[in-house]
Structure 1
Amino acid sequence: MKLFIFTWYPVILAFICMLYSITLGILGREQEALYSAHWPGTILLFAIAIRQRRTT
């Protein structure tokens, strides 16, 4: 379980952020939803960049 979470934590975190953005949009808070809609992509891009820099 620990290996799974360590491997997939960026995807899990991005999915939670996406659900947060969708929830804000459903509740009618469109500005906040648009702002937080960029978080999942940013999280995934940083995860890719960090993993490419690892030497192990």
Structure 2
Amino acid sequence: MKKFFLKWYPVILAFICLLYSVSLGLLGMTEEARYSAHWPATILLFAIAIRQRRTT
């Protein structure tokens, strides 16, 4: 289970941020939803960049 989370934590975190953004949009807070909608892509891009820079 630990290996699973160590490998997939960026995807899980991005999915949680996506759900947060969608819930804000459904509650009528469109500006906040639009702001937080960029978080999942940023998290995934940083995860890719960090994994490419690892030497091990």
TM surpasses 0.5 = yes
Identity %: 77
Moved over 4 A (4+): none
1:44 match: 44
How many angstroms does 1:20 deviate by?
0.0
Superposition CA RMSD, Å: 0.1
What's the CA shift string for 1:5-30, capped at 9, x where partnerless? 00000000000000000000000000
Gaps of 5+ in 2: none
TM-score (normalizing by structure 1):
1.00
Provide the aligned length of Structure 1 versus Structure 2: 56
Gaps of 5+ in 1: none
